[in-house]
Structure formats: structure tokens, C-alpha cells
Structure 1
Amino acid sequence: MNHTDPVQLVALGQGYQALVFDAPGAANLLDRLTLATLSSCLHRLSSQPPSGLLLFSKKTHFILGADIKEFLPAFAGPHHQLVSWLEQARILFNQLEDLPCPTVALLQGHVLGGGTELALACDYRMASQDTLMGLPETRLGILPGFGGCVRLPRLIGLDPALAWILEGTPRPAAQLLAEGAVDGICATTDLQQAGLTLLTRASTGELDWRARRPARLQPLALPVSEQQLTLQLARQRLASAPAQGEAPARAIAALAASLNQPRAAAQQTEQHHFLQLCPRPQTRHLIGHFLSLQAKQRQRPTRNVSSLSLVGGGLMGQDLADWALERGLQVRLYEADTARRATLAESLAQRWQSLPAAGQAARWQHLQLLERPEQLADSPWVLEAIDEELAAKQALWQTLESLLPEPALLVSTTSSLGIAPQARGLRHPERLAGMHFSQSLVELVLPAAMAAAQRQQLVDLARQLGKVPLQVADGPGFLVNRLRFAYLAAFLELVARGISPYRLDALMTRQFGWPQGPARLLDEMGLANARQILCQLTSQLSDRFARPATDPLSTHLQAGRGGRHQGAGFYRYAHGQPIPDPAWRDDTLKAPPDDSLTLQLLLPLLEEAALCLEEKVVASAAELDEAMRLGAGFPAFRGGPCAYLDDYGLARLLDEVDALALPHPRYRHPALSRRLALAESRGYPEVSSCNRP
């Protein structure tokens, strides 16, 4: 066997052997080469069984699962090759499970996907204190396909197994031990000795390893009535949560069908359900999203950013300060309003009260609250987070331009105002950039005349703050808010027509998959802020963003219901939890069906997406989709607005909307019609071309 093989078979003495995983790269993956090498090792072990077998990794992590980069080519390839790949893994794991000797897996770091399924095929598992173990496959649009759906419920029970598979969240070592997924925990430095001790106890007969195996090979030892109740509760929990695509429901179906089958039949059932998911567009979208995130996470700042200067102590300013302090940056924060400045320290203290004492002390040690703007004079850059008022921002920039040395950058965190209008009156408008923070995304507006080194500084700052940077063109709302508020404007129109906001929230979360419905989203951002942004977009873009004559935002604001931070908005809030207002009465007999409401909510967003591509607000459809996933929470399993258009079919969408005969300008879809004409003129078999960069 070559010493560079990803799996080595090593003699340990006393008749014991070890399968040592040590791939040439940074991490162990169950790629095709590793599976082929593992097959060779297991063939030797089957022909000459040892007294006991250890499995361990020479890497920081045990095994991170299959190589996800191999998934999409495999799923798009010939069906028989995909089946062969699954059967190869199943045969190998069964060979390991059937060895006539005790087997112990030594787990450390991350143990994910196929790595977990390999460990489940062993008789015992010993974990280091830093172990995180889980089955994240449903987050990729698939389900465990190397035996995880079969082995896990037989090891830890049906209810916790369902939680593992449906949530996809890795479990820490203490939880693994409590649930019975591992047999012990120790320090990483003691892991191999602990494994050898466990192996010796099993091989000498102190532990009856043979008694463990029948439970993994036979149907689940749980009455059918209890199985059905547990499965039904899992379906109900899934139905009440935001939609995640087909994979979670398919995983429940796979478990339901396989629980009462012996191993061979149960694994065939698991494979059948796995294969049903492989060709789904949502699977392609989720895997593509995962690979894109991985690539972004590998991008590091070209130089570390050590300090951040801020103007504005409101919610946005406090958020920015918090992100920076969490990452060890020195932060200087200036708030011009005397009353707000007086309560700023108290507000920050309330934010940090749940942190341990050392964490709170570190925050205060790295934070300086300033009394005068002159104290910012030596800053390399200053970010503003003041109110969304153009005149106020222009005045601030003119003050700071006179205070800061010429190379220093001025950065607006505006959510709706363009950067060029803010720069009017500056001697050096090229010094003013935009950074719109939205969830895990930062939209960067970088003036053409800005030096390349300064552009890179802002990219580095975004990455240092743990955000993904994306350059967009200057303009009202930039990209994310322009699309998001087109959707919110449509929501307000429907509410004004008498549709319950709670029905629309349920529709957009439980059926479409947004993490929050539009009413909850408006409550979170604040209704006064949302109204201001809509007014700005209407005046600067078009009446597509106009609020209805009977405006729910204004109605709530007049009643003192400004959103979650005021205790009430569309919802009332008790201890932070939203409670629907019982005064709403949705006449479901007159209200349009769900499909019609979904179209009316989404079409304005899709229209703006097409317009943004035409206007080159963003470089490509792929970047637009990524921005909406990262910045607005667009459901990853739907890919993004452009991918959704491709999957739905543009011609079908337009026909369905035309049949509704909606009068508002936002439903005239000129941009989508132009894209349809363009696609047809190029002879595309599918009329939509949004997903082609």
C-alpha cells in the first residue's frame, strides 16, 4: 500500500490493527479515491481479521463526509453510476460492521455526513471533548445515503434520530454521550489510549461487543404505534417550520418505510429515497449554495483590520460596534445627540449582559465612547450609522472631510440613499463609499475614482467583520433593499385589500421558505424606517414602490405600534415572542387562493431582479441570487430570484399573472416581458435566461 494513500492499514501490536485516515489534503473526505482505498483495506481485514480494529484520523477532524464537489457531476451523470457509488459505500460500511472482531472509532473535531455514517458502522465510538458530530445532508437537499437513516435510529432511538436528520445540526460531545451516540469522552491527547483500552476490554470479553450487533441488523425494537406517533409529531413540527425543500419530508418517509425492515431491505429503501432527491433543482441549488459559501469562507482579508471608527449610536451603530468588538477590533464610537449619548453605555451594557464577565470586560476594554467629532481626526476611515436623512448625511461628510486627513475614507452604511447624492459638496467625492450591511452580506458601492488599495481596504473590513462583500452599482436601495421592498410593497397592498398579514406570513414561511414572513420582517426593521425607505424608493425609482392609499404602516404608526422594538407592530410582542392581533379577520371565502397570493407577492421582486440585471446593478444573475440568499434570506433551496424564474418557467409565470388581471403598475412586468422576448429570439429551449450570467 502506498504511504500517500488516504487510508492506511497499520499494525498496533497484540493482534490489533488500525484504519488511519490521513488524506493528502487539509481534511479527510470520503471521496472516490478514499472509498477505493478503504475497499482494499477492508478486503485485507476480511481475509485476515485482527483481534480488534481502531479507526482514527491524523487530521484535526475525523472525516468531514463525502466530497461535496463530486455530488453535482454524480447526480447529473448516468443513473447506473450513481447507484454504483451508493452501493459501493453501502457494501464497504457493511463489511466494516460485519468484521469478526470489535471495532472502535476514535472521533475528534468535526465528524459529519459520511464520516458519521462510517462511525455508526463500528461497535463503539470514543469522542474527544471537541467533537461535533452530525448528519447535515438535508441541508444539501438530500438525506443520509450511506446507511445513516438505518443505523442511527437503531442506535439512539427514533425521536433523537429524527432530530439529528431533520435539523442537520452537529451535536457536541456531551450531547452525543447523553443520547448514546458515543460510549465515552476524553481529552484529545488521551483519545488513542482510551480507544485501545476500550478495544482491549471488548476483545478480552469484558464488554460483549457481539451483543450490540443484532439491534443494528434487525427492525427497530419499538412498537409500531409508538413509531407512528413519533413520525406524526415530526411531520407536524416540519409543517409548522419554514419550508426547507423536499429533503426533510423525504427523510421522514425513508425512516418510516425502513424502520421495520432488516438491514439489507432498509438500506435499499434509504437508497430509493436518496435517488429520488438527486435530480431535483432544489438539491442543485442547496449544494451550489454550500459550495459558494465554502469558497467565500476561504477568502481572508489581505491584511488584518485593527480598528473601526463609527458615528451614530443607534441600533445600526451598536450592531456594527458589536460585530467589530466580537472580533477583537478597537472601536471608537461617537454619537452627536446628547440625550442618546447619555444612554448609549447603558444600551450596550444591556446588549452584553448575557455574556460572561470576561467577555463583557473585553468589550469595554476595546471600546471608546467619544464626546466630540474632533476625536475621530486620526482615523483611517469613519463609518456613519445615523438616520436616513440626506441633508444630515451630507452635513456629516462635509464636517468629517475637513477633520480627517486626505487619504482617510468616509463610509456610509445607508440602506436606501444613493452614495452620489451624499457626496455632493465634497471636495473629494471619491473618498465616499457605501457599505450596506444586510444579514451576512455587505453590499459595497465603490466610486470609480477610488484607489485600488482603498477598495481592497473596504473588502478586507467586510471580511474582518465576518461578512461576505459584493460590489454593486450606486442607486436607491442598491440591490437587496430594492428587491426586498418591491416584495414588501406588494405585501402592504394585499393587507390594505383585507388579506390577513398572518396568513401571508404563514404562506411565505411554511410554504415558500423565507425565514420570516413580510409582517415579521417589517416589525423587525421598524415600521417608521420601512415607510421612509419606501417613500425614498418611490420618489427615486417609480410608483412600483408606492404604498396603498390606506397604508397599514401609517395606520400602525398612528396607533403607536412601530414594530418589535416598541412592543407592537403587525404583531404584539410579549417577552420577545410575536402574538397575532385577534382584531384581524381574514375572509378566506373572498381571499384569493394561496398560489395567487404567492404570485402577487413575488412578481414585483422578480421584476426588480430583471431590471437590476438590465441596469447592471450587479454583475451577474449568479451574484444577484447569492446576494438575496445571504442578504435577504431568500430560500436557498429555491436558488434565488433568477434560479426561481428558471425553475418556474418565465412564460408560465407571465401567463398566470396576466390571467389575474391585476391593475397595479407593479404587475405590468415590462422587464420580464423583455427577458421573455430576448430568450425566444435566441431560441432557448427554456424561455427564462435569468440564470445565465
Structure 2
Amino acid sequence: MEWSARDGVAILTLASPPSNPVTPHLCEALHAAFKRAASDPEVDGVLLHARGRSFSGGDDPCGPVCGADALNGLFEQIETCPKPVVAALHGLVLGSGVGLALAAHYRIAAAGTRLGLPEVKLGLVPGGGTTQRLPRLLGADAALEMMLGGGMHPVDQGAARGIVDSIAEGYLLSAAEAFLRDVIASGQGARPSSLRTDGFADPAGYQKTVAHHRGQAGRRSEEAPREIIAAVEAAMLLPFEAGLSFEADAAETCRASAQATALRAAFLAERRARGLGLEADVPRPALDRVAVLGGGALAVQVTFTLLNAGIAVNWGTRDPAQLLDGVPRLRDAFDDGVARGTIGTDEAQERMASLRVGDSAAMTGDAQLILHAAKGQGDVPAPQDVPRAAIFPGSRVEALGLRFAQPVPSARLVEVMAGPNVTVTELAVARTLVARLGKVGVRVNSSAETVGSRLLAVCQRAVDALIDAGQDPYAIDRAFLDWGWLRPPLMARDVLGLAGLARHPRAEGARNWSAVLLEAGRSGRASGKGVYDWTAQPSKPAEDAGLRALVSDLRPAAAPLAAEAIVRLVLGAMANEGARMLSSGMVAAPSEIDLVALHALEMPRWRGGPMHLAGAMGLLSVRRALESFEHPDRPFWTPEPIFAELIKNGRSFDSLDGRAA
């Protein structure tokens, strides 16, 4: 942090760009600076601003953070400063950066500034008095919208509009200094947010909003939203100091929770996976135009996703009819976005205008990356230095492949397949593409299999083994529904369709229950019946007595396992398969397996993936469960040697990539 002064105004500059994190060092520096400003008779007011692209990104989850006492103490010092304090905001203002801005007496922002409180996504409660000051300014509705959603909010509209006093015209620092001098000249002086009551103007409405959000949160398993709602309620019911204590207790409860640990692990895993295993100094190539070769649904989805990210597309096929069908579908997708307000009409038209279509051979010349979206495109001529990637499922990967999770426009996962002949240049282009699309990329060293397909297969194989052992199929799914998996294994099986899973082999004495059901005419949701009966309410499958009778006739009954035991066995089998992938070098870190599980299998993020959960449940407990489960498929259930190694050294899978000690 830097100090300067001119004509009675102390200018405090956050000088750790690009994000200016709120670190213990910054807290100490600001504490000293405000102490100096308060005691300096030559200072009439304080202006707080920042260098770089953003005012402050708040706490760095990978770095040291200020403790609750230090943060509250600093913000109280700023708020009780006897001289007016103006915060000049720009770029992104996140987390404790928002708390810092709220501690100031006045706020002025550059156009385009966005505020966000992402703590809930990490299972945390916003600290530094944010849950107490924000409702005083905005009321319960807008404050909870910001804190429970965790998204970005423009300062000039919506929920965040009541936070700032002015939107700067022209140069922010000059406008903020002029604003501060007007405050000084008018004698308005300090205006602590803790004394504001604007948001409490309608007490009954405030409490009604709190009750509404509490009812919604009560139907979910996440702890942090409930604590945030309680803290916002306390903001109106308790004196400010008592509210700060309430917030601190709630924040500590959440920070120490298993949910916060899992969510933080997922966040750090996504950050770590961005590099795709490349050195930091590998150049990041430009990627302005991509060729998509081949027609069909995948090509349409990928082309739309590229265009929507601002990447121009050359779409080529050898069958003009596929373009005649596909281009109108693209227009419909953009029209739908306009209707929903996610994109403006002019922007949608601009993106469609960056699309070229034609024969495959004519589409590769000026592309910086070529994506094969269908079979039969590998021999299309193109400049030799242009990277090519096979993206359609099942294609063998010799160099670079990409496997987009479905549906491509909204799903975030991309498995970046690194075949035996992949080059650094190809991986660098893939890294750029994943970043431009705003997706999560996981490098997979494989020519064919994906991590997602292996996790899905082993999950279903484990569930089949439980059914072999006499467990009720619906009890298995209920165990996972109660655990928090909204699309549990057998329900997911029906949605995917049983035909693909029915081809997977089983050991002697074990059944592939997808094959059994398929032979009985139950192929999944599309046909109306699979494991569940989908005919009455397609969006709400029903348990089916006919399925129970079919299963019961083919295997002996057994005493039901506890839900906890079912969850441990299935997740343990998935972690065991993850251990096999690690030992083969298919992936570099356990966290990458967890990312695929969270994004491709839609496991609850607040629980974590199977590798993290094996540690959370206790590796020894998981190993014993795998060893003691009686089933003919013994090699499948035999724990990998790494379990014994980790247990011996008191470690978990998380420790292998630095997520835990």
C-alpha cells in the first residue's frame, strides 16, 4: 500500500495488482495509514483506491488471509475515522474487498465495476461485517441476492446499485477526489455504514424476505446459505456489535465444516487444472477462428458455444444438407438467448455474422484450430502447422482430442485428451480454447478412454454388485439422494439409456443388470421404463413393483445395508478406480479425477469427488469396506496398494496434490 497527500486529502493506494488481495500485510499497512490520517491535522479526508485491473479480489484462497478479529478491527477503524473516507472502485470488487468498500463512508465507482460475494461457493459466510453492513444499505432482498448467489453484480443496476453513491464520469481518481472535496466542503463528514438504516425501512417486508429464503435454504443441504440468512436476520434484530459477533460465529462454523473443505478443494483443483500440465512460460497462442468439420448435433452445439464465446467459426461438412439443417438451429439458439435476456440482439447478430459455412476442404485455410466433430473428416486437407483435435466420442486420439461434457453450451467440463503423439503446441492451443470458453479443462493421457467414462462404468459396476448381493435398487438410489446426489446412479442410468452400459463385461458370477433389464424390454427413460417407471410423470420417475419382482427372481434376498455403508462401498470403488488411473499415469493428480466426477457425474460439489471423500470417510474404513464386501468380482473390489501406503503414512489422496497435509 502507498501513501500520498495533496491539499488536505490523503490518498491510500492498494498497490498489489492485478487483484490487490486483502492479505495480513495489507491489513497492517491500512491500519497504520488510517491511524496516521486520523491524527494528522493536515488531512481533512481520505481517498482509498487501487492500481491494476481491479480494486480488490478479496481473500486469496491459496494465500494467507486476515483473521476475523483483524479484519473487523481494521474495518471498524476505517468506519470510525473522524474524517470522511471515500473508496474509488473499479474492475472487480470481491469478498473482503467488498467489506473494505463498505467500511468506507462513501463509494464512487467507474462504469463497468462489478461487485461479488463468492464466499457461499466455498461454503463460507462473508466476513468483516459484510452480512451486517450490506443489509443496512440494501435491505434483505438485494443483500441476500448478492450473498446467496455468489455472482457478479454491476454497480449501476440491480442489487448492487444502492452500494455506490456515484458512477464516475471520466477518470475515476479525479472524479473520486472531486467527490471527496465536495463532501469536505459541505461539512457532511463521516457516514458510517453501521449507522445506516435505509435497508430497515420496511421491517415486515425484511422479515418476510428472510423467511422466504430460509424456507428455500431449508430444502437444500448446504450449510453456508442458512448461516448467511441467519446473519442477515440478525443485522436488523441485534445491535451492530452483537451482529458482528453473530457473523463471526457463523463464519467460524462454516469455515471448519466438511462442506467448506470440499468446496475449497474443488476451487483449488479447478485453478490447478488450468495449466493442463504445461510450464507457465509456454506461450499462449491466439485463437480467433476455429474450423468445425462435420455435421450433427455435436457440431451444432460446439459451433454455438464457440460463437457465443466470441470465437469466429468456419463450419464445414461434406453434406450440404447438414448445414441447411444446422444453421437455422444456431439462429434459434441465439434467438432463444435474446428472448431470455442473456444476450442482446445486436450482439447475437454480430456473433452469427462471424460464422462461415461451406465444404469442409474450403473451411480450414485460415483457421487456427481444426475440430473434427464427426467421422470421416481426418483426411480433409489443411495447413500442416494448424493443430487438429478429434472431439466426437469414441474417436481414437493419436495426438489431441477434446471431450466436451453434455450439453456443450452449459456444461463446464472438457477432458483434454493427450495421445501418444501430442505436442506442447497442441496442448497450448487447447489450454487457450478452454480458457476462452470459460470451461474447466482436465488433461487426460489417453488414446481412447476418458476419466468420465471410467468413473461412470465403475459406479454402475459397483451398484450392480450391490444388487447382486441382495440390495434393493431403489434403496441404493435413496441412500444417495439423502446424501445429496440429485441424480443418483440408477436414475442416471435410465437417463443415459441402458444400451451402452449393457455392453460392459462382468466377472463370472456377477450380472450386468442393464443387460438384464434391456432383455426385459426396459431400456431407460426414453422408452418409458428402465429401472424406474417414467410413464406417469417423465420429470419424476416412480419406483416400479415390476422391476423389484424381476430382480428378486434372479438373485437371493439379503439383509439391507445401512445407507452409509452403501455410499461408502460405491464411492470407495470409484476411488479405487481413481487409484488405478493415477498409477497408470492417465491423470496427474487425484483432484483431477474429482473434478470430472463433480462435472460429468454431477456429484454434489459440497461433498467433493470420490478421491477427496475417501479421505473424508477415512481411508482405513474405505479399505476395510472394500475388502470385506463379499462378491464374485474380487479383483474389482481389491484395494489398490496405494491405500496401504497412504494409511501407513497418515495421508490422504488430497495430500498427493497439495490439497491437505
**Shorter-chain TM-score: which interval?**
0.7 to 0.9
Q: Distance in 1 between matches of 2:80 and 2:110?
A: 26
Describe the shift of the 1:176–1:311 C-alpha distance in structure 2 as closer, same or farther (beyond 3 A).
closer
What does 1:196-235 align with in structure 2 at a 5 Å threshold? 196-197=178-179, 200-201=182-183, 204-205=186-187, 214-215=195-196, 230-235=209-214
**1:551-595: CA deviation from partner (whole Å, max 9, x where unpaired):** 5996356965699xxxx995999xxxx8325686899xx997653
**1:466-513: CA deviation from partner (whole Å, max 9, x where unpaired):** 4444332326532122113433566789999562999578546xx25x
Q: Distance in 1 between matches of 2:435 and 2:524?
A: 37
Using the TM superposition, give the Cα deviation of residue 8 of structure 1 relative to its aligned residue in structure 2, in angstroms: 1.8
- 2:442 maps to 470
- 1:684 maps to 649
Gaps of 5+ in 1: 1-5, 75-81, 387-392, 421-429
Q: Distance in 2 between matches of 1:648 and 1:465?
A: 35
Quick check: 2:287–2:368 contact (8 Å CA) kept in 1?
A: no
Quick check: 1:116–1:134 contact (8 Å CA) kept in 2?
A: yes
What does 1:641-656 align with in structure 2 at a 5 Å threshold? 641-655=610-624
Amino acid at match of 2:63: E
Quick check: 2:314–2:357 contact (8 Å CA) kept in 1?
A: yes
What does 1:223-302 align with in structure 2 at a 5 Å threshold? 230-241=209-220, 243-244=221-222, 246-256=223-233, 259-294=236-271, 302=284
Quick check: 1:20–1:58 contact (8 Å CA) kept in 2?
A: no
- 2:420 maps to 448
Q: Distance in 2 between matches of 1:377 and 1:171?
A: 40
% identity of equivalent residues: 23
- 2:556 maps to none
Using the TM superposition, give the Cα deviation of residue 117 of structure 1 relative to its aligned residue in structure 2, in angstroms: 0.9
Q: Distance in 1 between matches of 2:380 and 2:53?
A: 52
Q: Distance in 1 between matches of 2:344 and 2:519?
A: 42
- 1:78 maps to none
**1:368-406: CA deviation from partner (whole Å, max 9, x where unpaired):** 3224x54457577643223xxxxxx4xx26xx4375576
Structure 1 residue 145 corresponds to structure 2 residue 127: yes
Q: Distance in 2 between matches of 1:180 and 1:406?
A: 56
SS of corresponding position for 2:522:
helix
Quick check: 1:309–1:376 contact (8 Å CA) kept in 2?
A: yes
Quick check: 1:20–1:56 contact (8 Å CA) kept in 2?
A: yes
Quick check: 2:626–2:637 contact (8 Å CA) kept in 1?
A: no
Using the TM superposition, give the Cα deviation of residue 213 of structure 1 relative to its aligned residue in structure 2, in angstroms: 5.5
Q: Distance in 2 between matches of 1:37 and 1:263?
A: 26
**1:17-54: CA deviation from partner (whole Å, max 9, x where unpaired):** 24432314323222122211111111122223644333
- 2:84 maps to 102
Describe the shift of the 1:581–1:444 C-alpha distance in structure 2 as closer, same or farther (beyond 3 A).
closer
Structure 1 residue 555 corresponds to structure 2 residue 522: yes
Q: Distance in 1 between matches of 2:167 and 2:112?
A: 9
Structure 1 residue 484 corresponds to structure 2 residue 484: no
**1:586-636: CA deviation from partner (whole Å, max 9, x where unpaired):** 99xx99765355446534433322332233321232332344445555444
2:55 is matched with which residue: 43, 59, 62? 62
Quick check: 2:45–2:85 contact (8 Å CA) kept in 1?
A: yes
- 2:351 maps to 363
Amino acid at match of 1:87: D
- 1:579 maps to 539
Structure 1 residue 436 corresponds to structure 2 residue 378: no
Q: Distance in 2 between matches of 1:553 and 1:595?
A: 31
- 2:552 maps to none
Quick check: 1:106–1:126 contact (8 Å CA) kept in 2?
A: yes
Describe the shift of the 1:603–1:57 C-alpha distance in structure 2 as closer, same or farther (beyond 3 A).
same
Amino acid at match of 1:144: P
Amino acid at match of 2:357: L
2:391 is matched with which residue: 413, 433, 441? 413
Amino acid at match of 1:471: R
Describe the shift of the 1:24–1:211 C-alpha distance in structure 2 as closer, same or farther (beyond 3 A).
closer
SS of corresponding position for 1:70:
coil
1:46 is matched with which residue: 24, 33, 38? 38
Quick check: 1:110–1:132 contact (8 Å CA) kept in 2?
A: yes
Using the TM superposition, give the Cα deviation of residue 92 of structure 1 relative to its aligned residue in structure 2, in angstroms: 1.9
Amino acid at match of 2:34: L
Using the TM superposition, give the Cα deviation of residue 303 of structure 1 relative to its aligned residue in structure 2, in angstroms: 1.6
Structure 1 residue 499 corresponds to structure 2 residue 474: yes
- 2:585 maps to 616
SS of corresponding position for 1:332:
strand
Amino acid at match of 1:487: C
Using the TM superposition, give the Cα deviation of residue 350 of structure 1 relative to its aligned residue in structure 2, in angstroms: 0.9
Q: Distance in 1 between matches of 2:20 and 2:351?
A: 37
Compare 465-474 and 121-130 and name the one that shifted more: 465-474
Structure 1 residue 114 corresponds to structure 2 residue 93: no
Q: Distance in 2 between matches of 1:127 and 1:90?
A: 23
Q: Distance in 2 between matches of 1:545 and 1:615?
A: 26
SS of corresponding position for 2:62:
helix
Using the TM superposition, give the Cα deviation of residue 645 of structure 1 relative to its aligned residue in structure 2, in angstroms: 0.7
Q: Distance in 2 between matches of 1:316 and 1:307?
A: 18
Amino acid at match of 1:38: L
SS of corresponding position for 1:100:
coil
Q: Distance in 1 between matches of 2:177 and 2:240?
A: 27
1:21 is matched with which residue: 13, 18, 26? 13
Using the TM superposition, give the Cα deviation of residue 57 of structure 1 relative to its aligned residue in structure 2, in angstroms: 2.7
SS of corresponding position for 1:133:
strand
Q: How many residues align structurally?
A: 624
Q: Distance in 1 between matches of 2:351 and 2:605?
A: 34
Q: Distance in 1 between matches of 2:169 and 2:536?
A: 48
- The alignment's TM-score, normalised by the length of structure 1, stands at 0.75
Q: Distance in 2 between matches of 1:569 and 1:370?
A: 45
Q: Distance in 1 between matches of 2:215 and 2:630?
A: 35
Using the TM superposition, give the Cα deviation of residue 337 of structure 1 relative to its aligned residue in structure 2, in angstroms: 5.5
Quick check: 1:131–1:172 contact (8 Å CA) kept in 2?
A: yes
Compare 621-630 and 133-142 and name the one that shifted more: 621-630
Describe the shift of the 1:157–1:456 C-alpha distance in structure 2 as closer, same or farther (beyond 3 A).
closer
Structure 1 residue 352 corresponds to structure 2 residue 334: yes
Using the TM superposition, give the Cα deviation of residue 649 of structure 1 relative to its aligned residue in structure 2, in angstroms: 0.9
Quick check: 1:486–1:605 contact (8 Å CA) kept in 2?
A: yes
Q: Distance in 2 between matches of 1:537 and 1:369?
A: 39
Quick check: 1:106–1:125 contact (8 Å CA) kept in 2?
A: yes
Quick check: 1:476–1:537 contact (8 Å CA) kept in 2?
A: no
- The alignment's TM-score, normalised by the length of structure 2, stands at 0.79
**1:156-191: CA deviation from partner (whole Å, max 9, x where unpaired):** 223432332222223211336776322333435366
Gaps of 5+ in 2: 406-410, 549-558
Amino acid at match of 1:473: N
Compare 228-237 and 104-113 and name the one that shifted more: 228-237
